[in-house]
Structure 1
Amino acid sequence: MLQSITLLGSASGRNAGDAALLAAIMDSIDEACAEKLLYEIPSLNPNFIRENYSNRVRPIGVMPWHASLRLLGVPTLRSLLRTDMSLIFDATLFDRALFNPMFNFLSSYAVLLPIAKKRGKLMGCFTSTIGPVRTPRGRDMLRRVLELMDFITIRDVGDLRAMREAGVTNPNVVLTNDAALLTHACSVQRAQQIRQSLGLNANQEVLALNVNRYFNSWSGGQRNPMTHEEFVNTYVAGLEEGLKEVDAQLLFVSTQHMDETLTREIMEKVNLPQHKALLSNREYGHAEICGVLSGVSLLSAMRLHCLLLASVSAVPVIGINYLPKVRTYMETLEILEYSLDFDDFSAESVAEHLRRGWRDRPKLRALMQERIPRMQEQVRLAPAIVAALHRGESISPIIDKHRAKYPD
């Protein structure tokens, strides 16, 4: 039986999406196993782990004075060898800055995980994103890491494509969805309290907006990179044109600490009469953000996990694709026409994107209410696999049953 698991991913507390993922993973596994396991979590901010989760957690410090460069170091290796299983989560299997362990985790996995595997440790990918991987070295490293896994559950068809391109032949690969869809929101009363503190009128609709400072780094489009000023001016002009006739309060949502400055700048520059408020993960936890988003009429977002935190409650969403994973999520929802690529990023396209989303929000809500429960059901395969291993059972019957019900 499993007693302990090491969770490998981004766990600094700076990103509400990562924080939600951690909670959803631990809660869903404990529920499936019908007991609380111990989770060791390498983190730059051990206090965040210790203070924000009700699960049995043991934070592992990974700063240089712990003899570690993020995950690459003695503390993580000791954790891998001490626990019964290791799970890779979130979007850490990419090859950008491949040999910089302060930014890239794939190279750290390639060093550490084979050592744990030789000791007979179980390991898997828990609803992970695969890629982007664009270099021969990156593809080779990805292949070697994924062949070590006892199981691989992934979020979308884009992950399958990335694995095939890397030559991964692991037989226990299953398409599920994002574990953040299992996030528990805060209480209705707490969400109402936060809305009141933000000055939001309960009798008027709310349109939520989310941006990401990585508007150039990852999109892989054909257009020339934008400057910070160009992005802000274009987005603000699009908001002012697209929302001038929208009767809704504007809620600006920052789910990553590094995005808040950009979010505040845009919020202050927008010249619109609607009430404006800021919901930031510097002040509120992931469950609180999830709860507040459950009451909005539409969310336009760049960050994937902002989209997911709204999707938990089947809120209508439209996306701006700064990364392939955002586009593939919208594709999975079968609403790709409500996403905007950066190749087509202009004040006019942003305005039309918002107008269309707002006009079609009843249609989008109906689609979300139909599709999100099915996607949440798919996610539950990942904790079910862990529970089977916990009981010492074969995972093949569970995987085969899932594949029969949800063909790739």
Structure 2
Amino acid sequence: MKYTLLGSNSGRNAGDAAILSAVIDEFSRVDPDAEFFVPTTNMEFVRRSYAHLDGRVRPVNILPYTGSVRLLGPTTMAAMARSDATLICDGIIFDVRLFNPAFNFLITLVGLAPWARLVRTQLFGYCMGIGPLRTASGRRFTRWVGKYCREMLVRETDSRDLLLASGVDPSKVSVWADVAFVTRPAAPERVDRILSDLGLPLDEPLVGVNVTRYIGDWVATGGLDQAGFLEQFREVFAKLRARLAPARLVLICTQRMDLGFAQQLREAIGDAALPILINDPALEDGTGYDCHDLMGVMGRLELFIGMRLHSLILASAMKTPIVGIV
């Protein structure tokens, strides 16, 4: 079987990368000869991550010079035409900046969904997260995509409810789970090396903290801006240190774009030595790691406090106690 995997596959977000890895691992476990086409703006990430699978995972270039806008373009369409099934993975059905195809995935799926039927590739929503869907257009486009899907499997009940409220056929919708829960963590010896590189002891308790820069956009704050949030979090961080001593704290960025915000937080705290673990294996200074590395480190934590959904999912998968900040 051949599959095209539609998602945010650049490797810059540990949650997205974990979903991609888990889908490929699970399908390969059932069918060791399965082949995958992965539309991506980062060909090297896909090649490097799946080099061990002997060419069964093929990156599909969707950079603008290929004529692609996000997922919509000739390279993705050609991959779908060669596939037995096309899976919409990840949380790419939302209506934030809906009519900006350089940002929004849903607007591109509006074109790809009927194309799937035309080229006779079965279209599935696979363990998706849905939303936000705050506009009539967003709900209408979601219903349109659902019309062409054979099934739409979602990861939680809120996503199911959004699909049903958008008018998607209820017989197609079922609740499963987030596939990132079954992502493989890094080997223990690699985790030891990562902790050593970060200057963290192997024999002392550790607490991880994850923050996102999406303050006031994806994350509702009740009118609190980034500066106000930083000040509040600085105070919280000081209390955490006092209450959790002698545990060491480490900032964990599951999305590369959050690094600047994490650095601002570190500066506000006044601790230049506070380690930051970053999801981005392409960082030239060698301080970036991948989703498997982050999971391995999360498994060594006594507690994980996170804002991003998949930071909490990956920590939970490692049976680490979590506190979610919404």
- TM-score, scaled relative to structure 1: 0.74
Structure 2 residue aligned with 1:13: 11
Question: How many Å separate the matches in 2 of 1:86 and 1:136?
Answer: 26
* 318 and 245 in structure 1: CA distance in 2 versus 1, 3 angstrom threshold: closer
**Aligned counterparts, 1:1-400, within 5 A:** 2=1, 4-33=2-31, 35-53=32-50, 54-55=52-53, 56-220=56-220, 223-224=222-223, 226-247=224-245, 248-271=247-270, 276-282=274-280, 283-321=288-326
Which whole-Å CA distance do the structure 2 matches of 1:250 and 1:181 have between them?
A: 24
- The runs of 5 or more residues in structure 1 that have no matched partner are 322-408
- Conserved 8 A contact 1:249-1:276: no
Q: Give, in whole Å, the separation in 2 of the partners of 1:138 and 1:164.
A: 13
1:354-374 CA-partner distances (Å, limit 9, x unpaired): xxxxxxxxxxxxxxxxxxxxx
| RMSD, matched Cα | 1.6
Q: Does the aligned pair in 1 maintain the 2:215–2:225 contact within 8 Å? A: no
Alpha-carbon distance in 2 for matches of 1:256, 1:151? 29
CA offset at residue 119 of structure 1? Answer: 2.8
Say whether the 8 Å CA contact 1:209–1:253 is kept in structure 2: yes
Tell me the CA shift for residue 229 of structure 1.
1.8
Q: Percent identity?
A: 32
Q: Give the total of aligned pairs.
A: 315
- Give the unaligned 5+ runs of structure 2: 281-287
Superimposed CA distance per residue, residues 95-153 of structure 1 (whole angstroms, 9 cap, x where no aligned partner) = 11112111111111111220221332111111101111111111111011012111221
The CA distance in 1 between the partners of 2:240 and 2:216, in whole Å, is: 23
CA distance in 2, matches of 1:167, 1:145: 11
1:162-185 per-position Cα deviation (integer Å, ceiling 9, x unaligned) = 012101114132211100001000
Q: State the secondary structure of the residue aligned to 2:59.
A: strand
Summarize the Cα distance change of 1:320–1:245 in structure 2 as closer, same or farther, 3 Å threshold: closer
Aligned to 1:383: none
- Equivalent position SS for 1:127: strand
Q: CA deviation at 1:279?
A: 0.9
After superposition, give the CA deviation of every residue in 1:60-99 in whole Å (9 maximum; x if it has no partner): 1111210111112111111111211100011100111112
SS at match of 1:252: strand
Is contact 1:10–1:43 with CA below 8 Å preserved after alignment?
yes
> Residue 124 of structure 1 aligns to a residue in which SS?
strand
